[in-house]
Amino acid sequence: MKPERPRQLSTAEERRATVLRTAIGAFAARGYFGTTTTEVAKAAGISQAYVYRLFPNKESLFVAVVEHSFVQVRASLEQAAAEARGSAPEVVLSAMGESYARLISGSEGDSDLMLVQLQAQAASTSEPAVREAVRQGYARLVEYVRGASGGSERQVQEFFALGTLCHLIVSMGAGEVDAPWSRTLSAGIRHY
């Protein structure tokens, strides 16, 4: 039996991946409402018509970006859970939290991830398809964290509450401010 060769991506799949990577940066910087498919197409080096062949509309492109961000978060959490130095819920949740903090701070090479998540949450207030993508992404993450950690409802809720606080601290650069309010928000939270 011959060893299996890695599957080659078709031109359309390669272009789709390129557009998705390009769109992540554009949507992270300017959000759903501030980004046009023309800008994404130009940055990807393709025509706007070709973007529409790959993604039927801007909404579906943004939803793909949101889904991709949740895949990245899940991969980070899975790796952390696998490498945790114990199986107690507190240990696994702490390892996942550390991994997530590194991920959203950009120290693992993707500084746009946190911005995409914040933009998705903002757009989800008025865009039903985005809202559904965010809901589904969080539903899968919550169930993964619950199962991987064995944590209680309260522990899982606190894990996600702390993640939201981390977003706030990182997005406004609270760690760079030496003031009582920033020390209060950042107490006990490490960012990279």
pLDDT at site 192: 63
pLDDT at 10 over 70: no
Q: How far is residue 170's CA from residue 192's CA, in Å, rounded to a whole number?
A: 10
Can you tell me the mean pLDDT for 165-178?
Answer: 88
Burial of 117 (0-12, 13-18, 19+ CB in 10 A): buried
Q: How far is residue 54's CA from residue 17's CA, in Å, rounded to a whole number?
A: 10
155 and 149 Cβ atoms separated by less than 8 Å: yes
pLDDT at site 16: 87
Question: pLDDT tens digits for 14-62?
Answer: 888 889 999 999 999 999 999 999 999 998 888 999 999 999 999 999 9
161 and 142 Cβ atoms separated by less than 8 Å: no
